[in-house]
Structure 1
């Protein structure tokens, strides 16, 4: 009986010790976790906030600079890249001396002059057509030219200065 009592006491003591150890470990883990959370909230979080704000300010300051550098760099790449040189040389392969152009600068200048000249010619054509239209409208208003017999005013311009219309048809 005494032997059985000792076994019961030992089992109870072991169970109590195990329970106490588990409770102590859980309490230590909770306390350590709370301490880590406190350290993170009190120390690391302001540091992270300061780093985020600093990066934001640096981005605000350097952002436009980086964008401008990227634009300049991409502009340089597209303007002076091999593709544009090839394109401009295929469009305007010869310089004034009749030799093949290898540099991009004079080809760009020629391209600019060409587009300016083309724009100028287009404006000249528009002005010519506009003046011809105004002249035609003034002739219609003044009653020159031929109209239909019923007088509806369907205008056909006077082509008497061109010669015989039958002869013109036979030529064409």
Structure 2
């Protein structure tokens, strides 16, 4: 599975970056942070506390899909962070990378909100968390992936994610 692409998904503050970094190191594959693919207009909206629309997300999802497709073509695999909140977003990413594996980090709203309020220097505001939870469509049985509760320590989350990827 190390040669496949993996998306670590979930709402903002769920630990996507931490788990994705650990997973990419463990699998020795490149890491892409989906936030880095947002056009400046999207970052400005989120920084102002304005949720993105599906129209705002379309070019962003296409750029993410292009990265995934490049990794598939190269055959080396890769790990990407991406909220991937809605099924149609994941479908769009799967259109670019049909075998992508999703690691969905799940957790309690209060825990994630507290984590978001404690972190510094991130453009995503804690106030947008409710809109993310409202938009979240969990992985369905026909989607290639696993849901992992974020309660354990980060090292344990990386271990659980790696085990799920290896089983896949």
Using the size of structure 2 for normalisation, the TM-score is: 0.15
Larger CA Rg, structure 1 vs 2: 1
User: Quick check: which one's strand share is greater?
Assistant: 2
Instruction: Give the TM-score of the pair, scaled to structure 1.
Output: 0.15
**Which of structures 1 and 2 has the larger relative contact order (alpha carbons within 8 angstroms, sep 6+)?**
2
